[in-house]
């Protein structure tokens, strides 16, 4: 299934994308696409529905973040060896973890703000893991049992805030709109091999990133296992798993986003996003 949220910011409704590309309203079945809707029992009930019996959504409504109100929006840094090297760092021996504020969440086609005082706003296409069941001290062998599905994430970043303003990376990762998620969450049964997903990102129509999840240093199952050793993962939590090479910071010379530029990105099975850069 492809589950999504549509409608004005703050008033999104739950939906399902049917095989013909029509959005079907789920508000009579679940209140939102959140932790409660992502439990195995809930997903089983949703999968048993005949989409043709659900109300079709007219027009082309705004698409919101695929997941509502995640308790945690976690990220993994430097998880592709070639990306680590382009930023001047060695590939890590263990996953590098940081967080984005959940207020950074936005829809996949929403405008993205360049923060006040920013001159290094950058792009990062990533595979997002969405947790479906509580995970605490889970084994790597059982880790995927705790995953509801996957979504496309643009881990928008302000590099000066991230690296030169002291403290942790969260400062450069958490501005409003720095977390486009969607257009949908695809349930894990629709992904044949999560470690073989093509990723791409363009800026103003020019290819900047091309990658595949097969080149991750730490795979999806390991990440869920690893993170669960340090904190409990709850249904609806999002984990952005790192970006392949091609970010602006790694270009020669480094190149960053400007007002009016358009970023488009996509991943096999996860859909596409498109954002226009605007000044905060």
The dihedral built from the CA positions of residue 64, 272, 152 and 184, taken in this order, carries a sign that is positive
In this prediction, residue 31 carries a pLDDT of 97
Whether this model's pTM surpasses 0.75? yes
Report, as an integer, the average pLDDT of 73-102: 91
| Section 198-211 average pLDDT | 98
- Half-sphere exposure for 63 (CA within 13 Å, toward CB): 24
Q: Which of 25, 79, 31 is nearest to 56 (CA)?
A: 25
Residue 149 phi, psi dihedral angles, 5° rounding: 175, -160
Identify the pLDDT of residue 83. 83
Number of Cβ within 10 Å of residue 234's Cβ equals 16
DSSP 92: P
Between the CA of residue 50 and those of 4, 19, 30, 82, what are the distances in Å?
17, 11, 15, 44
Tokens of 144: 């995927």
| Number of H-type helices and E-type strands within the chain | 5, 17
Please write the tens of the pLDDT for every residue from 11-49: 999 999 999 999 999 999 999 999 999 999 999 999 999
- Nearest CA-CA partner of 87 in 60, 132, 124: 124
Could you give the residue ranges of the DSSP H alpha helices within 53-129? Answer: 81-86
Residues 6+ apart with CB under 8 A from 15: 3, 4, 5, 6, 23, 24, 25, 26, 57
Question: How sure is the predictor about 85, in pLDDT bands with cuts at 50, 70 and 90?
Answer: confident
Taking the C-alpha atoms of residue 203 and residue 122, their distance in angstroms, rounded to an integer, is 10
Per residue in 217-252, pLDDT tens? 999 999 999 999 999 999 999 999 999 999 999 999
- For residue 136, name the pLDDT band (cuts at 50, 70, 90): very high
Strand 238-240 relative to strand 105-106: parallel, antiparallel, unpaired? Answer: unpaired
């Amino acid at each position: 299934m492809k589950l999504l949220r549509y409608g004005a910011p703050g008033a999104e409704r739950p939906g399902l994308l049917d095989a013909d590309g029509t959005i079907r309203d789920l508000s009579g079945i679940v209140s939102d696409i959140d932790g409660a809707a992502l439990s195995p029992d809930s997903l089983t009930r949703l999968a048993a529905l005949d989409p043709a019996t659900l109300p079709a959504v007219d027009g082309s409504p705004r698409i919101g973040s695929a997941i509502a109100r995640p308790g945690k929006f976690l990220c993994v840094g430097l998880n592709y060896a070639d990306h680590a090297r382009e930023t001047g760092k060695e590939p890590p021996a263990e996953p590098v973890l940081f967080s984005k504020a959940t207020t950074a969440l936005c829809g996949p086609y929403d405008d993205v703000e360049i923060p006040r005082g920013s001159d290094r706003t950058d792009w990062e296409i990533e595979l997002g893991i969405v947790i479906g069941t509580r995970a605490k001290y889970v084994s790597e062998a059982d880790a995927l049992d705790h995953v509801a599905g996957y979504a496309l994430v643009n881990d928008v970043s302000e590099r000066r805030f991230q690296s030169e303003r002291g403290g942790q990376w969260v400062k450069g990762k958490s501005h409003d709109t720095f977390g486009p998620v969607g257009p949908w969450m695809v349930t894990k049964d629709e992904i044949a091999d999560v470690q073989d997903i093509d990723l791409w990102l363009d800026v103003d129509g020019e290819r900047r990133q091309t990658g595949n999840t097969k080149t991750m240093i730490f795979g999806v199952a390991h990440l869920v296992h690893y993170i669960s050793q340090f904190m409990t993962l709850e249904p609806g939590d999002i984990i952005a798993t790192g970006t392949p090479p091609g970010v602006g910071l790694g270009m020669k010379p480094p190149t960053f986003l400007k007002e009016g530029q358009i970023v488009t990105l996509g991943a096999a099975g996860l859909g596409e996003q498109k954002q226009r850069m605007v000044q905060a």
